[in-house]
C-alpha cells in the first residue's frame, strides 16, 4: 500500500470535510451530500468502531468534523483499494450502505493492507449494522422512557451478585428504557445489604436492620414520586425472600414498577426468560383450623412445602391455605414470564379477599414462602394498607422447615 504522502494544507482541509470519503493515500472522493448526511446521521456522529464523537475536537470543543467516511468495499477494483476486489458494482460503492463513519485512527487500521483479512467486508458490514442499530435504539428513547433504578442486593447464604451500571443499561435498553440513578446511596448501590451481620445465622438483627435500610431508601423514593420526578421504577432484586416481601410492602403501588430477577439456567442476565410458558395458579385449603382467627398461607411456587414441617405456631387451630401452580410441579423457573407473575398476583389477591370474608377481623397471616424473587416482592406489594392483615413472614431453613423472621404491615 506504500507510505502515505504528507498531505499539504489543502488536502488536510479537504480530507476533514464531512462530505468526502478518504482513501488509503489520503486521496478523497466527493460523496453526494444526501449520502454523506445519511451516513453521519445513522452513525449518530460517532465512530462506528470506537464510538468517539466526531463532530468536534474533544479538547477544545471546536467545531471540526474529525470523522471520515470509509468505504467498506473499496471505491475501485485496483489492487491498492482496500477490499476493492469484493463483488459490488462500481455505482453502488459510493452509497450509504457501503460507507461507514470512522475516526481517523480506526480508518487507518481497516485500510492498512495487513488488516484487510481481519476487517473484511462481512466484518465491517456487521460493525456498521450494529453501531447504527444501537444509535437508532438509543436515540429513540424519550424522556418518559426514563426509569428510576432501585437495586436491592444482599447475600443469600453467603453468596452475592453484582449489578453494575452496564448490566442495568443493557437490561433496560432491551425494554426500551434508560436508567436514572437518583436514588443511589453513598456506595455503588441503592440498597446494599451485603455486609449486614447475622445473615448466615438468620439473626433478628439481620432482618430488622435490613428492613430499616429498605425503608430509609423507599422514603426517599416516595418523596421523589410526590415531586413527580419518578414515573417508573426498575427494581433489580437479589436478597433473602423475607426482605423482598418487606420491600414489596414499601413499594408504592400507584407507580408502575418492573421487578428484575437474575435469570437461572438461561445464560447470564436479568429479567424474563424469552418464550417462557405462562403458568396459572390456584389457592386451595390444605387444612381447616379450629380458630377462625388463625390463618397461614403456604406459597409452593419455586418448591413444594411439606405441610408436616410447618413451625409449631402454625398448629391445628390454624387454617392453612396453599397457593400453587396448576398442572405443573413447583420449581425455580415457574414464574419466568410476565403472564405467570400476573396470574400469581391475581391468585394471591383473590385469596386475600377470600380470607377477608371467611376470617373477618384477623390481624395477622402466617406466610410460608417458597417463591422466586418476583413473587416475593408481589406478596408484600399486594395487600392493601388499612384493609389487609400483617404478614408474619417465615423463612425456609436448610432442613425444609420454617422459622419466623419478620412482620410486614401493608
Ligand atoms: Zn474510532
Own/partner contacts of 262-270, CB < 8 Å, gap of 24 or more, are: 262/161, 262/238, 262/373, 264/332, 264/333, 265/333, 269/167, 269/171, 270/163, 270/167, 270/171, 270/236
For 149, 182, 256, the CA distances from 230, given in Å and listed in that order, are 10, 9, 10
Measured in Å, residue 54 CA sits from the centre of ligand 1 at 9
Residue 402 has pLDDT above 90, yes or no: yes
Exposure on the CB side of residue 244, measured as CA atoms within 13 A: 28
pLDDT of the residue at 267: 67
- 11 φ, ψ to 5°? -65, -45
Place of cell 489520503: 26
Measured in Å, residue 135 CA sits from the centre of ligand 1 at 15
Tell me the angle at which helices 204-226 and 241-250 cross, rounded to the nearest 10 degrees.
Answer: 30
- Model pLDDT for residues 297-315, shown as the tens digit of each residue: 999 999 999 999 999 999 9
Residue 272 backbone zone (phi > 0: left; psi -120 to 50: alpha; other: beta): beta
Mean pLDDT of the chain: 89
Mean pLDDT of 178-207: 88
| DSSP letters for 262-283 | B-SSSSS-BSPPTTPPP--EEE
Would you say 151 and 194 are in contact if contact means Cβ atoms under 8 Å apart?
Answer: no
Measured in Å, residue 23 CA sits from the centre of ligand 1 at 16
Measured in Å, residue 114 CA sits from the centre of ligand 1 at 18
Residue 4 has pLDDT above 80, yes or no: no
Residue 320 has pLDDT above 70, yes or no: yes
Nearest-CA neighbor of 406 among 385, 386, 376? 376
Q: How far is CA 229 from the centre of its chain?
A: 20
Measured in Å, residue 391 CA sits from the centre of ligand 1 at 56
Q: How confident is the model at residue 25 (pLDDT cuts 50, 70, 90)?
A: confident
Would you say 391 and 362 are in contact if contact means Cβ atoms under 8 Å apart?
Answer: no
- Model pLDDT for residues 104-128, shown as the tens digit of each residue: 999 999 999 899 889 999 999 999 9
Would you say 31 and 20 are in contact if contact means Cβ atoms under 8 Å apart?
Answer: yes
pLDDT of the residue at 365: 97
Measured in Å, residue 92 CA sits from the centre of ligand 1 at 24
Burial class (CB in 10 A: 0-12, 13-18, 19+), 349: middle
Q: How confident is the model at residue 51 (pLDDT cuts 50, 70, 90)?
A: very high
Nearest-CA neighbor of 259 among 381, 408, 112, 141? 381
pLDDT of the residue at 14: 44
Q: How far is CA 53 from the centre of its chain?
A: 26
Nearest-CA neighbor of 143 among 248, 84, 231? 231
Measured in Å, residue 404 CA sits from the centre of ligand 1 at 58
Measured in Å, residue 110 CA sits from the centre of ligand 1 at 11
For 173, 182, 338, 378, the CA distances from 141, given in Å and listed in that order, are 9, 18, 22, 28
pLDDT of the residue at 371: 97
- Model pLDDT for residues 351-379, shown as the tens digit of each residue: 999 999 999 999 999 999 999 999 999 99
Residue 78 has pLDDT above 90, yes or no: no
Measured in Å, residue 95 CA sits from the centre of ligand 1 at 21
Measured in Å, residue 52 CA sits from the centre of ligand 1 at 6
pLDDT of the residue at 13: 42
- Model pLDDT for residues 158-168, shown as the tens digit of each residue: 787 888 899 99
Measured in Å, residue 51 CA sits from the centre of ligand 1 at 6
**Rg (the chain; Cα; Å):** 29
Q: How confident is the model at residue 322 (pLDDT cuts 50, 70, 90)?
A: very high
Measured in Å, residue 84 CA sits from the centre of ligand 1 at 22
For 23, 211, 271, 348, 378, the CA distances from 249, given in Å and listed in that order, are 63, 11, 21, 14, 8
Q: How many whole angstroms separate alpha carbon 104 and alpha carbon 142?
A: 32
Measured in Å, residue 47 CA sits from the centre of ligand 1 at 5
Sequence-distant (6+) residues with CB within 8 A of 298 are 286, 305, 307, 310, 320, 321, 322, 323, 368, 370
pLDDT of the residue at 266: 64
Measured in Å, residue 332 CA sits from the centre of ligand 1 at 44
Would you say 272 and 373 are in contact if contact means Cβ atoms under 8 Å apart?
Answer: no
Would you say 22 and 107 are in contact if contact means Cβ atoms under 8 Å apart?
Answer: yes
Amino acid at each position: 500500500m506504500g507510505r502515505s504522502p504528507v498531505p499539504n494544507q489543502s488536502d488536510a482541509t479537504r480530507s476533514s470535510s464531512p462530505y468526502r470519503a478518504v482513501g488509503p493515500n489520503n486521496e478523497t472522493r466527493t460523496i453526494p451530500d444526501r449520502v454523506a448526511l445519511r451516513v453521519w446521521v445513522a452513525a449518530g456522529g460517532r465512530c462506528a468502531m470506537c464510538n468517539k464523537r466526531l463532530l468536534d475536537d474533544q479538547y477544545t470543543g471546536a467545531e471540526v468534523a474529525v470523522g471520515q467516511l470509509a468505504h467498506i468495499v473499496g471505491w475501485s477494483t485496483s489492487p491498492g483499494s482496500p477490499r476493492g476486489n469484493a463483488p459490488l458494482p462500481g455505482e453502488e460503492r459510493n452509497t450509504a450502505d457501503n460507507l461507514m463513519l470512522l475516526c481517523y485512527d480506526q480508518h487507518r487500521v481497516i485500510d492498512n493492507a495487513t488488516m484487510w483479512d481481519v476487517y473484511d467486508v462481512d466484518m465491517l458490514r456487521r460493525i456498521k449494522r450494529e453501531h447504527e442499530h444501537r444509535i437508532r435504539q438509543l436515540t429513540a428513547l424519550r424522556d418518559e422512557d426514563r426509569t428510576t433504578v432501585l437495586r436491592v442486593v444482599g447475600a443469600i447464604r453467603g453468596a452475592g451478585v453484582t449489578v453494575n451500571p452496564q448490566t442495568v443499561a443493557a437490561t433496560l435498553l432491551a425494554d426500551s428504557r434508560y436508567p436514572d440513578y437518583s436514588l443511589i446511596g453513598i456506595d455503588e448501590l441503592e440498597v446494599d445489604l451485603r455486609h449486614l451481620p447475622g445473615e448466615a445465622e438468620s439473626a433478628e438483627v439481620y432482618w430488622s436492620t435490613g428492613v430499616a435500610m429498605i425503608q430509609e431508601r423507599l422514603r426517599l423514593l416516595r418523596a421523589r414520586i410526590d415531586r413527580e420526578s419518578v414515573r417508573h421504577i426498575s427494581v433489580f432484586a437479589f436478597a433473602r425472600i423475607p426482605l423482598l416481601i418487606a420491600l414489596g410492602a414499601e413499594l408504592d403501588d400507584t407507580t408502575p414498577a418492573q421487578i428484575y430477577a437474575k435469570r437461572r439456567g438461561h445464560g447470564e442476565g436479568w429479567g424474563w426468560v424469552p418464550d417462557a410458558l405462562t403458568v396459572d395458579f390456584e389457592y386451595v385449603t390444605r387444612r381447616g383450623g379450629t380458630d377462625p382467627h388463625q390463618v397461614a398461607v403456604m406459597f409452593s411456587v419455586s418448591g413444594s412445602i411439606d405441610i408436616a414441617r410447618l413451625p409449631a405456631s402454625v398448629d391445628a387451630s390454624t387454617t392453612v391455605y396453599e397457593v400453587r401452580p396448576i398442572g405443573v410441579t413447583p420449581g425455580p423457573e415457574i414464574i419466568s414470564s410476565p403472564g405467570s407473575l400476573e396470574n400469581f398476583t391475581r391468585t394471591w389477591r383473590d385469596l386475600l379477599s377470600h380470607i377477608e370474608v371467611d376470617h373477618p377481623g384477623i390481624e395477622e397471616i402466617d406466610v410460608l414462602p417458597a417463591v422466586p424473587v418476583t413473587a416475593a416482592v408481589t406478596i408484600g406489594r399486594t395487600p392493601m394498607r388499612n384493609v389487609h392483615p400483617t404478614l408474619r413472614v417465615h423463612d425456609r431453613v436448610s432442613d425444609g422447615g420454617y422459622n419466623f423472621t419478620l412482620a410486614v404491615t401493608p
